[in-house]
Amino acid sequence: MPAFVQAIALLIAQLGASQGQAAGPDERARATEQQMTDDERFGLIVSFHGATGGMVNDERIPPGVATSAGYTPGVPRLGIPALHMSDASLGITNPGYRPDDKGATALPASIALGASFNPQLARDGGAMIGREARIRGFNVMLAGGINLARDVRNGRNFEYYAEDPYLTAVLGAEAVNGIQGEGVISTLKHYTLNCNETNRQWLDAIIDPAALRESDLLAFEIAIERSQPGSIMSAYNKVNGEYAGGNNHLLNEVLKDAWGYRGWVMSDWGAVPRWQFALAGLDQESGAQLDMVNWKAEPFTEPLRKAYAEGKLPMQRLSDMVRRILRSIYAVGVDRWGPAAAVDLNGHNEIALEIARQGIVLLKNDRALPLATDRPLRIAVIGGYAELGVPIGTGSSAVLPVGGYAATIPIGGPGMMEYLRNLLLLRSSPLAELRKLLPMAEFEFDPGQTPAEAVLLAKRSDVVIAFGIRVEGEGYDLADLSLPWGQDMVIDAVATENPNTIVVLETGNPVSMPWRDKVKAIVQAWYPGQAGGRAIAEVLTGKVNPSGRLPITFPDDLAELPRPATPGLGTPWGMPVTVHYEEGAEVGYRWYAQKGEKPKYPFGYGLSYTTFGYKDFRVSGGETVTATVTVTNTGRFPGADVPQLYLTDAPGRRRMRLLGFERLELAPGASRSITMAADPRLLARFDGDKRQWRIDAGDYTIALSRAADAPVEQRVVRLVGRFFGR
Ligand code: BGC
């Protein structure tokens, strides 16, 4: 580099440091990168996976580093901090990395947050994660799973928010904003179409590229705009024949060019078979040792250096990879950390509790709930380890809570994730919490081992509360939607014996419910996190009025789905599998709307102990759709409603899209007016030939709804035709 360029670069860097970063992150990144040696550059574009469970750390991770999912050495002479990466979608994880770590706050599953329809809670949860990261010295969160729940059997749906791109984007963005507001980089993952776990590293997701823009990519596009995440993690799978981490169309053409994304793209762990992924837009290889395990090479260490030496990797590309990482460090402020603030674990528990409360969905209620608090009821609590705690999803997102798990029951299975597949119970016992809230009631517990034994207790009880749980997690898809270990038989038997049966489900996905017509009430509590038992008890007793709405459609039968069988299910680990997403952008409720069919419970559905009325619904058209409505709590309990705005018909092919929503807390008799303005991309089609969004001129039908298939009022508005965006 000529001396004068170097001098200017140094000057800019010093100015940035001395004048409170007057130079922007791009200028600073450029200036720093220009001073780096090639060794330093190559050092920054690889992360190493920490050893768990007392194993020896890779020698490239210096002693004393708090071990976690990923570590990238910094460059102290230039003030570049090392990157300490932790999984964090539901809290800071620790699958045996740090024996001395006393545990972290375990939030409810992201799908529970999805059910809250409350962006503020996502932000609170993110800020909580950011603070718990800071105190541990972690500066990059592998949080923010925003894949769409395309398949109700995907083992990892609990880590994602919803089947809908807009709801997903709004919540995912707020989680990132919460984390990055604490000066910690956050990641959105897994880009894209990692919507099944079965042989995910050998899975080829086939989809129409334009439909992808209207669905999974739209979730990323909007979330990125709203939160500027420091990094994006590419998915394990292939998309239309190319691995997501080496996919020029997805990374270079869409993410970096069309959307102008300026942070860096890291791979998923062990997902880089070739150095050429760098040319396709991948900026950092993650958990390099896992690539050695999977592909017998660490492509971004020696092979990439060789390619560089031979002129196959241009200097410009190497600089860009490094600058993107530096830019995010500077933009988020990871290089400017002061001492970490003390963590308020009680306050963090309150955040976990509030997400659980607002995420619980009341699916059915034949006047069985709330439970009477003024009578000495004999209540049978059956199954689900409700005397011990609540389950969580398994895999890399599993948080080790303060005080440890109430129980760890090994499940195992084929494949590489077997060691992480356990029934993990957080210490928040629904039974203990119910006892606190119903001091007059007499409780007895039955483990739900056999139908014959469970009915003995059900018979002599006034009310039965039966818990249904399921272990779902990374690396495994569900074979069907039944409850394991004979729980469906137990619930059926107790409901036959005692008509006052209430079922509480703690799962990450829909459940088949063969006993549905026999029970009085059904409560979907998801994996409700470390305060989940309390939230469940509060909802059952009416201390909290349920307000969750389904973020995922509950099918009646798997035969209704775009893919009645999960492709490749049951094939051995390592077997290539192809998933044809023929539904394109018509995911979940959109699919049902196109077919004109009704599911068991629709997207957006959820009951309350109060009622809500709508008036003065007005919609205007033009460039986009804007709607106003006044919502009134017409019942006797304070409660929250989630009015939803949908596109239900459009010129050309019929289609349905969630355009807007808002969660409103209202006292009995109280009213509030809201305005919802649609993102025009939700009204448009993506024109694959023009590579632009296209709104056709014409009439659009807009519904104000209580759920995807429950419109209250509809209006037709005219939109002007136009092309926009890229
Ligand atoms: C998961 C990622 C995770 C990474 C690091 C992978 O198996 O797919 O979501 O961030 O591991 O733990």
Q: What is the pLDDT of residues 473-512, one digit of tens each?
A: 999 999 999 999 999 999 999 999 999 999 999 999 999 9
pLDDT-based confidence at residue 653 (cuts at 50, 70, 90): confident
Both tokens of 239, joined, read: 């998309």
From ligand 1's centre to the CA of 130, what distance in Å? 18
Both tokens of 307, joined, read: 């390619």
The closest residue, in CA terms, to atom 6 on ligand 1 is 269
Query: Ligand 1, closest atom to CA 190?
Result: 9
- Say whether pLDDT at 440 is over 60: yes
pLDDT-based confidence at residue 77 (cuts at 50, 70, 90): very high
From ligand 1's centre to the CA of 86, what distance in Å? 9
pLDDT mean across residues, the chain: 96
Q: What pLDDT sits at residue 417?
A: 85
Q: What pLDDT sits at residue 414?
A: 85
Both tokens of 508, joined, read: 């990450």
| C-alpha span between 204 and 206 (Å, rounded) | 6
Ligand 1 in reach of 589 Cβ (< 6 A): no
From ligand 1's centre to the CA of 199, what distance in Å? 15
| C-alpha span between 129 and 336 (Å, rounded) | 19
pTM for the model stands at 0.96
> Mean per-residue pLDDT for 89-108?
96
pLDDT-based confidence at residue 6 (cuts at 50, 70, 90): very low
Q: What pLDDT sits at residue 4?
A: 47
283 included as an active-site residue: no
Q: What pLDDT sits at residue 467?
A: 99
From ligand 1's centre to the CA of 334, what distance in Å? 22
pLDDT-based confidence at residue 574 (cuts at 50, 70, 90): confident
Pocket residue to mutate for ligand 1, from 129, 195, 269, most atoms within 8 A of Cβ = 269
Ligand 1 in reach of 69 Cβ (< 6 A): yes
Q: b/e for 122-132, b at 16 or more Cβ within 10 A?
A: bbbbbbbbbbb
| E-assigned strand segments in 404-553 | 407-410, 422-426, 442-446, 463-469, 501-506, 521-524
| C-alpha span between 470 and 509 (Å, rounded) | 9
Both tokens of 564, joined, read: 């009645």
Both tokens of 709, joined, read: 């298939």
